[in-house]
Amino acid sequence: MIRHEVSDVYKAMNKIRALEAKLHNFPMNSGTTNQDWSLLNSLKRELGIPVEFGDKPTGDGSMAAKAVVANS
C-alpha cells in the first residue's frame, strides 16, 4: 500500500514538473492553457503544495488530478 502511494506521488510530481515547464512563459488567463493551469493547481492542492498562481480554490480538485495521474 505504501509502495502504491509513493508511486502515485512520484507520478504526480513528474506531471507537476512537466506542466510547470510547459506553462513557465504563459500567463494564467491564456485561453489555450486553462486546462493545464487547472490540472497543475489541482495536483498541487492534492499533494499539499501551495498554489502560488492566485486562483480561487473551488475544492481540492483531486478527482481530475487522480484520473490524469492514474492514466500516466
| Residue ranges covered by each domain of the chain | 15-23+31-72
Dist. CA 68–CA 42, nearest whole Å: 11
Per-residue pLDDT band at 57 (split at 50, 70, 90): very low
Specify the DSSP element, H or E, that contains 19: helix 2-23
Fill in the amino acid letter for 70. A
* pLDDT tens digits, 27-56: 666 666 788 888 999 999 999 999 875 444
